[in-house]
Amino acid sequence: MKNIVILISGRGSNMQAIVDAGLPGVTIAAVIANRPDAAGIAWAAARGITTRVLDHKAYASREAFDEQLADTIDAFTPDLVVLAGFMRILTPGFTARYEGRMLNIHPSLLPAFPGLHTHERAIEAGCKVAGCTVHFVTAELDHGPVVSQGVVNIADDETPDSLAAKVLELEHQLYPAAVRWFAEGRLSIDGARVRLADLAGADAAMMVPAP
Ligand code: GRF
């Protein structure tokens, strides 16, 4: 069994997708939020999942919060930490501690559009496609070895909201698959690249689903 700790800040729909996937060999050890009003916490608690809330506003510095967060995470002895809409810039000490065992999902085709407002920016830039990226977390925000990417078309009349909805649907497919691959011990990091062992069939399609 692999222990997974999921960090959220808000509604937690990606967390829900991972939980609902019922991944074999995966225990959701805890869901942790940095905001007391994160809707995903109530959702997880209602399903009997252990939850913790650590309000970042109660800490004097980013370092102090990250230290407490790491202690809270480590109490669950996770094999993998999953950032699922966790809206915090992480300190280098924190990212180093979980190097190679912390994943994030970002709603753009990285390295394009790290940071916020990705859908607006992709439309404004005239992109014909957009998407999402699952990647290992490094010290640099929204960078790190890419596990998988999903692509959607940007229609002529696309709005940030319509694009966000399309991309989110894809996120809910990609993220559980990536967590499963990790739990199966099939991901290996080779510089900026991530290799998936025994890549075939449905897994290959899930690594880069295209429109
Ligand atoms: C998702 O779009 C994710 O890619 C980004 O934040 C959003 C979180 O949504 N990092 P949710 O909380 O998982 O519903």
39 lines ligand 1 (CB under 6 A): no
Whole-number Å distance, alpha carbon 193 to ligand 1 midpoint, is 23
- Nearest Cα to Cα of residue 4 among 137, 103, 133, 148: 103
pLDDT at 198: 81
11 lines ligand 1 (CB under 6 A): yes
Homologous superfamily (CATH) for 105-134+146-211: Formyl transferase, N-terminal domain (3.40.50.170)
Pinpoint the alpha helices (H) of 139-200: 160-183
User: Which are the contacts of 202, defined by CB distance < 8 A and separation ≥ 6?
Assistant: none
Q: Where in the chain is the domain with CATH 3.40.50.170?
A: 1-98, 105-134+146-211
Highest CATH level, class, for 1-98: alpha beta
Tell me the sheet residues that pair with 193.
146, 190
pLDDT tens digits in sequence order for the chain, 211 residues long: 999 999 999 999 999 999 999 999 999 999 999 999 999 999 999 999 999 999 999 999 999 999 999 999 999 999 999 999 999 999 999 999 999 999 999 999 999 999 999 999 999 999 999 999 999 999 999 999 999 999 999 999 999 999 999 999 999 999 999 999 999 999 999 999 999 998 766 676 666 666 6
How far apart (Å, rounded) are the C-alpha atoms in residues 73 and 182?
18
d(CA 48, CA 50): 6
Tokens of 186: 């099939």
Say yes or no: CB of residue 176 within 6 Å of ligand 1: no
Write the CB contacts of 177 (distance below 8 Å, at least 6 apart in sequence).
148, 203, 206
Query: What is the model's pLDDT at position 41?
Result: 98
Best CA proximity match to 152, nearest among 113, 103, 119: 119
Q: What is the pLDDT of residue 207?
A: 66
Burial label for 96, CB within 10 Å (0-12, 13-18, 19+), is exposed
- Among 61, 85, 84, 81, smallest CA distance to 72 is for 81
2 alpha carbon – ligand 1 mean position (Å): 23
Q: Which atom of ligand 1 is nearest the CA belonging to 10?
A: 12
The answer to whether residues 102 and 73 touch, using CB atoms and an 8 Å cutoff, is: no
* pLDDT confidence of residue 114: 98
**Overall residue count recorded for the chain in this entry:** 211
